[in-house]
Amino acid sequence: MQVLMTEIETVREHMVMLGLTEGFTSRNTVRISQTLDYLLNELSKVLAAD
């Protein structure tokens, strides 16, 4: 679970940086946001299984 949480934080930071440089509605920012959503859903599944 710690690896997943670290990955979530890394992707979140990347998304924010992309949003600030390319805009929050850019194709790249939206794609990273979708990746972050996926990771957060995976974390939710792990937490629900406990």
| Model pLDDT for residues 2-43, shown as the tens digit of each residue | 999 999 999 999 999 999 999 999 999 999 999 999 999 999
Q: In whole angstroms, what is the distance from residue 30 CA to residue 6 CA?
A: 20
Domain span at 21: 1-45
DSSP type of residue 11: H
pLDDT value for 50 = 78
Q: 48 burial class (0-12, 13-18, 19+ CB within 10 angstroms)?
A: exposed
DSSP type of residue 25: T
User: Looking at the domain assignment, is residue 4 inside a domain?
Assistant: yes
pLDDT value for 28 = 98
User: Looking at the domain assignment, is residue 12 inside a domain?
Assistant: yes
User: Looking at the domain assignment, is residue 1 inside a domain?
Assistant: yes
User: Looking at the domain assignment, is residue 25 inside a domain?
Assistant: yes
pLDDT value for 35 = 98
Indicate the length of the chain as a whole number: 50
The pTM (predicted TM-score) of the whole model is 0.92
The total domain count for the chain is: 1
User: Looking at the domain assignment, is residue 50 inside a domain?
Assistant: no
User: Looking at the domain assignment, is residue 16 inside a domain?
Assistant: yes
